[in-house]
Chain A
Amino acid sequence: MKRKVLTGSLLAMGALLVGVSFFAIAQPLTVLPRMALAPGFVLTDQHGERLTNEDLRGKLVVYTLAYTGCGEACAPINRTMAELAARLDEVDTGGAPVRLVTISVDPERDTPAALRSAAEGLGADGQVWRLASGDPAMVRQVVGGGFEVFYEARDDGTIRFDPAFVVVDGWGITRARNRVGLPDVELLLDQLRLLGNEVRASTGVARFAYEAAHLFSCYAY
Chain B
Amino acid sequence: MKVHVYEKAFLSIGGGMLLVFLGALAFATLGAGIHLPDRAGSIDPQAVRTTPPFDDPGVREIAPGKYEVVMVAQAWSFDPAEVRIPAGSEVTFRITSPDVIHGIHVEHTTINVMVVPGQISEMRYTFREPREHLIICHEYCGIGHHYMYGKVIVE
Contacts and interface: CB of A to CB of B under 8 A. Distances in A.
Interface in B32-70: 35-36, 38, 40-43, 51-54, 60-64, 66, 68
A200 interface: no
A118 to B, nearest CB: 22
Contacts of B61: 144, 150
Contact of B52 (A140, A141, A162, A221): A162
B66 to A, nearest CB: 6
A166 B62 CA distance: 16
Nearest to B18: A13
Nearest to A219: B38
A60 B46 CA distance: 34
Contacts of A219: 38
A148 B60 contact: no
Contact of B64 (A140, A152, A217): A140
B66 A180 contact: no
Interface in A114-132: none
A40 B144 CA distance: 47
B92 interface: yes
Contacts of B38: 33, 217, 219
B42 A221 contact: yes
B42 A148 contact: no
B137 interface: no
Closest 9 CB pairs of A and B: A145-B63, A144-B63, A144-B62, A162-B52, A150-B60, A162-B53, A181-B51, A150-B62, A180-B43
A145 B52 CA distance: 19
A215 interface: yes
A187 B120 CA distance: 18
B120 A141 contact: no
Interface residues of A, number: 21
Interface of A: 3, 33, 140-141, 144-145, 148-150, 152, 162-163, 177-181, 215, 217, 219, 221
A148 B10 CA distance: 53
B5 interface: no
A150 B92 contact: no
A33 B54 CA distance: 23
A136 to B, nearest CB: 12
Nearest to B15: A13
Contact of B62 (A33, A145, A163, A215): A145
A179 B92 contact: no
Contact of A179 (B29, B35, B41, B64): B41
B83 to A, nearest CB: 15
Nearest to B40: A177
B44 to A, nearest CB: 9
Contacts of A217: 35-36, 38
